[in-house]
Amino acid sequence: MVAGVRLKPDPITPSSHCPDPIFMFARKLYVEITTRCNMRCGMCIKHVPESRISNEDLDPAVFMRLIPHLAEIEELILNGIGEPLLHPNLVEMLSTARKHMPKNSRRGFQTNGILLDEKNSNELIDAGLNLLCISVDGSTCKESAPGKPFQHQVLPHSPVKMVDSIRKRKGCADFRLGGEVVLTRETLPNLPDLVRQLGDEGADFIIGSHLLAFQPENEASTLFDTNSDKARKIYNKYKKFCTDEGIELKQLTGKTWIAPRHPKEHLLKNIFKQMLGEARKDDTWLHVNHLETFDETITQEAETYYRRSYETAGEYGIELDLPPLTATLGRSCKFIRDKALFINTRGYVMPCHALWHDYTLHMNGQPKHFHAKSFGNIIDRELDDICTDTDLVEFRAHSGSNEFPYCHSCNPGPCPDITGEAGPFINDCFGIPVPCGHCLWCYDAIRCL
């Protein structure tokens, strides 16, 4: 047993970062109804060379297995990797969900917007759609070679403006309409203008998310700094000490740490020990190489665009949801907070976005291999039975505890176990059997509906 975490189905004691008891039954469902897409964006997970995600649709009969559970579902998101509008039974699924979900529930999806027109927009809204997020990147991304940055083009129509007009005409006061944008070094300067454009077109909200680098060359575009503000403050303090003495923190090696020879090496070791001691006392993790190589001016420039974007959003009354630019020490899993579960096109139940598929991300110059994790299939088991399985309850308890290490900021790591180099994840260096310590969703860097 890990200290502070109960491993029995109920009740689970909450942690400071997970204020509610760990949930037993899902209140939010992500259902991947298709993995097909009508675009080939170079930065997409499906189009990297090693991708093993096939093109397939969710069988409507599998979706019908959810009917007994929809009365408890407050939000249903009908998408995953693919473009939801490609599924031939999307309207029927929405209609079925509306009949069985609570009165004030949400039914929606995210789309690239290309296939939206007057006809299907009317049909979708009449069927029960009341939450729609249009990906600004997807709707303006030309076909491009894998690894290449997004290229923007003007669509022949504005899907946001069109849907806004239809919902107003129908008097759908509870319909939520928004946009989503991936924030990169290339796209961020356009964010304030994008907020204004979406405000003019009638958007209620905008979701920003940092880039998931599915190829090594994508990392150069990322804005997110895995170092915390506290770590940077401590590091800069001791870096100045070194500069004043004519030495550099990055000069410390394993050899000089074990057996320093001359006064400068002894001094460097002592400064390093003092820095680590202060960080430990402040419960802050430090990764010296990451701190040394990250350009702080990038974050400072980004803060300017953030501020301008929030000011513009305020003018339009838009709910602007942007991720932090640096890692937060108060980690929290959105999927635990939202009481969410995921179902893929084959009916398998997953705990979160990060473990929905097999894929590789590139973080801080090295690959991180994710392996899909399933806790059962709704084809042969009831969803409620899967929800109460000890394995899933324990997984959520560990994830919600936030007692795992800060793998991005671990000075000698991350280790092969957490990056997946040694094989499918088993446990981290604390012995905790969830891979959350190296998860960008846990750091709130990645956002979605």
Q: Which tens digits make up the pLDDT trace of 358-416?
A: 888 998 888 988 899 999 999 999 999 999 999 999 999 999 988 888 888 887 778 88
Lowest-confidence region among 55-64, 243-252, 440-449: 243-252
Q: What is the pLDDT of residue 21?
A: 53
Q: With helix as H, strand as E and coil as C, how does the chain read?
A: CCCCCCCCCCCCCCECCECCCCCCCCCEEEECCECCCCCCCCCCHHHCCCCCCCCCECCHHHHHCCHHHHHHCCEEECCCCCCHHHCCCHHHHHHHHHHHCCCCCEEEEEECCCCCCHHHHHHHHHHCCCEEEEEHHHHCECCCCCCCCCCECCCCCCHHHHHHHHHHHHCCCCCEEEEEEEECCCCHHHHHHHHHHHHHHCCCEEEEEECCCCCHHHHHHCCCEEEEHHHHHHHHHHHHHHHHCCCCHHHCCHHHHHCCCCHHHHHHHHHHHHHHHHHHHCCCCCCHHHHHHCCHHHHHHHHHHHHHHHHHHHHHCCEEECCCCEECCCCCCHHHHCCEEEECCCCEEECCHHHCCCEEEEECCEEEEECCCCCCECCCCCHHHHHCCHHHHHHHHHHHHCCCCCHHHCCCCCCHHHHCCCCCCCCCCCCCCCHHHHCCCCCCCCCCC
Q: What is the pLDDT of residue 247?
A: 86
Backbone dihedral angles phi then psi of residue 27, each to the nearest 5 degrees:
-115, -10
Q: Are 201 and 164 in contact (CB under 8 A)?
A: yes
Q: What is the pLDDT of residue 256?
A: 72
- Rounded to an integer, the average pLDDT of 289-296 is 84
> What tokens does 243 get?
């500069």
Q: How many CA atoms lie within 13 A of 19 on its CB side?
A: 2
Q: What is the pLDDT of residue 75?
A: 98
Q: What is the pLDDT of residue 140?
A: 43
Cβ neighbours for 65, distance < 8 A, ≥ 6 positions apart: 347, 378, 379, 383
Q: How confident is the model at residue 282 (pLDDT cuts 50, 70, 90)?
A: confident
Q: What is the pLDDT of residue 364?
A: 84
The C-alpha atoms of residue 180 and residue 159 are separated, in whole angstroms, by 13
Q: Are 411 and 360 in contact (CB under 8 A)?
A: no
Q: What is the pLDDT of residue 332?
A: 85
Q: What is the pLDDT of residue 22?
A: 61
Selected residue with higher pLDDT from 52 and 209: 209
The C-alpha atoms of residue 259 and residue 269 are separated, in whole angstroms, by 10
Backbone dihedral angles phi then psi of residue 268, each to the nearest 5 degrees:
-60, -45
What does the radius of gyration of the chain's CA atoms come to, in whole angstroms?
23
Determine what percent of the chain is predicted with pLDDT higher than 70: 90
Q: What is the pTM of this model?
A: 0.88
Q: Do the strands 319-321 and 225-228 form a parallel or antiparallel pair, or are they unpaired?
A: unpaired
Q: What is the pLDDT of residue 418?
A: 85
Lowest-confidence region among 63-77, 236-250, 299-313, 411-425: 411-425
Q: Closest Cα to residue 15, out of 247, 285, 333? A: 333
